[in-house]
Structure 1
Amino acid sequence: MRSFNQGVKLLFLSFAVVSQAQTYHVSDHWKIGGAGGWDYLLSDDAAHRLYITHGPRVEVVDTTTGKPIGAVTGMKSTHGVALDPDGKTGYISDGAGNAIIVFDRATLAITATVPAGTNPDGITYEPVTRTVWAFNGRSKDVSVMDAASHRIVATIPLPGKPEFPQADGKGNVFVNIEDKNVIVKLDAKTNKAVTSWTLTGCDSPSGMAIDHAGHRLFSVCDGKKMAVSDFAAGKLVGLASIGDSPDAAGYDPKTRLAFSSNGEGTLSVVDTSKPGFPTVQTVTTVKGARTMAYDANTGKVFLSAAQYGPTPTPTAATPRPRPTVLQDSFEIIVVSR
């Protein structure tokens, strides 16, 4: 039996852990401006840079000051960014250009344009084989590019529309299949899909984060759910409750917290160390801020947002039109502890 003092101490420690988790807040707004839509962000933690896909360009911002560094320009419709461990090279998926864009991270100049499949979206670097994986939304396959030669070495068919990928660093790549509600595991050494598993209770999985040490994948889904998978076993292990209309996820290995950026205007913070994966905080952000990047060095979350004008009248060609983005309203929201 615990003593009274032991009970008080345990209660205090539990309160301290919860309080530590529940201190996220919006700490800054960085104005980017310009026009057009956006997609994924990527934090280069070591270089203190944030890469922001923004229409036909990728904005680059200094995360210590919030000031712009420059932009990679000359593309058609950017979706994702991946970085080479060499510290010198970056890769962009140009959806409307059906290409993987190679750029110099020092000068931000494009050094190569490599044809990919139709509408490449999610993109990641695989370190064991030193390849770049661009997941093509319309052709429902993945283009695998050798990073040294800039040559496509494989095109792997997928069972449906791919969304965000993650690499485990050991030769495996995982991707959400949005229209099938499954995760596909691909072997980078053989360039083949080796298995898949169903995300029961998860509709239209999009963003994905990874816990390398714990062998967990976190897929954000419609229906206010985050699917938690054991990627070593290849199975779903639970569902967490999150906000509505998510599109991106993040993970902090230090605190074992997972994040979901939600279009309703919230950031969900999920404690993955506890049974049932409880949501420990819901941070109010801005409506439409549904893409994010996480900086593991500073613990900051970066979200894309803008102000909106009226929604166009639906047509047969565009039955669900998006509202117009107001000129120069695009910004990055910074969430800190």
Structure 2
Amino acid sequence: MKNTLFTIAFLTGLSATSFAQQKTGFHLIQTHKIQSDGGWDYLSVDQKNNNLYISHGNQVNIINKNTGDSTGVIHNTSGVHGIAIASSFEKGYTTNGRTGTCTVFDLSTSSVIGQITVGLNPDATFFDDFSKKVIVFNGKSMDASIIDPQTDKVLATIPLGGKPEAGVSDGKGKIYVNIEDTGEIVCFDATTFKILSRYKLNGGEEPSGLAIDRASSRLFTVCANRVMLILDAKTGRQITSLPIGDGCDGVVFDPILKTAYSSNGEGTITAIKEVTAEKFVVQETIVTKSGARTIALDAVTHHLFLPTADFEKATGTGRPKRISGSFQILEIGK
């Protein structure tokens, strides 16, 4: 029995080593230039219509994810952060941080349908395919607004006890969200809107991006102190902590490739391979560009998209200045 256990452990170790040595083959494929100015935050993929929605200053730029061609602009989204894609309703929702609203738009025409008042400084958002609701996380009011896409009304507001960042769904009725200022993950029920649990993050500071492997019930949370923590979504048990690059604000998980990608503002992506539900390894550091701190995944092509711009050389201790007219989307893949 001891020999058998030793053999299993040895083979598992070999497997992890081989994954760490095997490169992803990912690199910069294309750079899509967008002729407008302003800062940026999240971006989202509309798989059905092949569009990529990019928050940019006070508007949302839309490009075809396959060609890079511009397909439209959604204006007057003041301080926009996130874009939720509710494909089954043919609607999209932007979170407008400065006005405390969500802009509702038609996915086919990009025309604005209406405005919804939510909490203070709405930030991250997504459409939950289980409950068929849009989940909006409000930074300043420290709560979540639940929107019904059938009526475009707020059904509930859930106090979260801290400043929420990104959230995900397990596809079975549970929503998980990073709480930046308390260093934890909060889980709530997608239909009753009740808080179910709070997972304290040990060794993780100011969590931002969050992703999930629904098959293995694993959460991937990226933190300001350059680590990715991986937890059991069902229990909150912390499985491991792995190093990532500096300035990360986003993470995605590819369920086919079994790989988590953290977008690091320093100009890299950290690719972390899920060998088993209990074993994760840093597979590769992929070069991007400085400022590319958020990320979106095309689930069909497995390509990654990251927004950034060109910057002047830094002088002294100040931040480098963004070069006007240089906004761009990096496309990373094989």
The correspondence for 1:128, drawn from 114, 127, 130, is: 130
TM-score normalized by the length of structure 1: 0.89
Q: In structure 2, which of residues 38, 60, 65 is the aligned counterpart of residue 63 of structure 1?
A: 65
**Equivalent residue letter for 2:309:** A
Q: CA 1:15 to 1:234, structure 2 compared with 1: closer, same or farther past 3 Å?
A: closer
8 Å CA contact 2:63, 2:69 repeated in 1: yes
Superposed counterparts of 1:206-217, under 5 Å: 206-217=208-219
Q: Does 1:295 align with 2:298?
A: yes
Letter aligned with residue 145 of structure 2: S
Aligned residue for 1:272, secondary structure, equals: strand
Residue in structure 2 matched with residue 140 of structure 1 by the alignment: 142
The alignment status of 1:330 with 2:309, answered yes or no, reads no
Map 1:184-263 → 2, pairs under 5 A:
184-263=186-265
Please give the alpha-carbon distance, in whole angstroms, between the structure 1 residues aligned to 2:46 and 2:216. Answer: 22
Scaled by the length of structure 2, the TM-score of the pair is: 0.90
| Percentage of pairs with the same residue | 36
Contact 1:43-1:293 at 8 Å conserved across structures: yes
Q: Which moved more, 1:105-114 or 1:81-90?
A: 81-90
Residue of structure 2 in register with 1:106 after alignment: 108
What displacement does 1:312 show?
10
Give the 3-state SS of the residue equivalent to 1:76 in structure 2.
Answer: coil
User: SS at 1:28's partner residue?
Assistant: strand
Q: Which runs of 5+ in 2 are unaligned?
A: 4-13
AA aligned opposite 2:175 = V
| Pairs within 5 Å for 1:48-87 | 48-86=50-88
The match for 1:174 is 176
Cα distance change, pair 235–13 in 1 and its aligned pair in 2 (3 A): closer
Q: AA paired with 1:280?
A: Q
Q: Which amino acid aligns with 1:55?
A: G
Q: Distance in 2 between matches of 1:201 and 1:13?
A: 27
Query: 1:130 corresponds to which letter in structure 2?
Result: K
Name the residue aligned to 2:280: 277
1:24 deviates by: 1.0
Distance of aligned partners of 1:55 and 1:311 in 2 relative to their CA distance in 1, 3 Å threshold: farther
Q: Which runs of 5+ in 1 are unaligned?
A: 2-11, 315-320
Q: Does 1:304 align with 2:301?
A: no
Aligned counterparts of 1:97 and 1:312: Cα–Cα separation in 2: 34
User: Secondary structure of 2:182's partner?
Assistant: coil
Amino acid at match of 1:146: D
Secondary structure at 1:86 match in 2: helix
Deviation for aligned residue 1:129: 2.9
Is the CA contact (8 Å cut-off) linking 1:271 and 1:280 kept in structure 2?
yes
Which is further off, 256-265 or 139-148?
139-148
Moved more, 249-258 or 267-276: 267-276
Aligned pairs, how many? 323
Question: 2: CA distance between counterparts of 1:134 and 1:322?
Answer: 30
